[in-house]
Amino acid sequence: MQRIRSLQFWSIVLLLALALGAVGAISYARIVEGDMEAAGRGGRRASPVYAPPLDPSVKYAYSCRAELNDGLEYRERKIEVAGESKQYDLWAYADFTLDQDHRGMSSGELSWKWLAVVTEENPEEEFETLEIPLSAPPANAFSVANHGISLTAYATGEGKAPVVSLSGTVRLDIGNYFHAENGYAKGDLNSSELKFQVDASLNHRAQGAAGEPDQLWRRLYVRCTKRL
């Protein structure tokens, strides 16, 4: 009886191993084809781990713009427009290039410029937007640190255009803690444009404080246009 049970046990183990091998083969195929969501490797937020490398002779370049905003208009930032004090929304933006030699950038490596964006309703009950460049960030500006952006191209099989994945992380820091969210866009080397938007938010209250918690919020928008 013991021997039979042992044989039954090892038969089950063998069947499970064969089944897992088949699943692994399916997952590998899906990853090579660029189906990261089905392969279960981080969903649509991560590049394939097992994709074949791109031929070094294949060159590509994308002109990119990253935009950051904190969405906290209630801070009542004010700027003078035509002699009047106007409330504005604060944006930071940076232009950069990603290519086969420079596939990732941290926000600290970018040269950020600042915009005051004033939105008002005109007599026709339509909204008009005025963008005012700022020579420096205001005293209550949000941080542009600790965010990241990357663009990766990888082969998908003979006769198919290499797949391109654009991804980024927006991060909120508070004390010794942080909260991060990821954004993702997918195309191929024939795609003229890739873009995504991702938001991160959290509420916090100082220890022992009463009342409503403060809200932190950050939006990262990235658009990349093919140059090469």
Q: The pTM is what?
A: 0.71
Q: Which of 167, 166, 168, 175 is nearest to 202 (CA)?
A: 175
**pLDDT block averages, 10 residues each, the chain of length 228:** 40 44 34 37 45 81 95 73 88 95 93 92 77 92 92 82 92 85 93 94 66 76 94
Q: How far apart are CA 186 and CA 62, in angstroms?
A: 14
Q: How far apart are CA 44 and CA 182, in angstroms?
A: 9
Task: Report the SS3 class of residue 126.
Answer: coil
- Side chain identity, residue 30: R
The set of residues, in sequence order, having a beta carbon less than 8 Å from that of 113 and lying 6+ positions away, is 92, 93, 94, 133, 134
Phi then psi for residue 162, to 5 deg, are -55, 140
Q: How far apart are CA 38 and CA 50, in angstroms?
A: 14
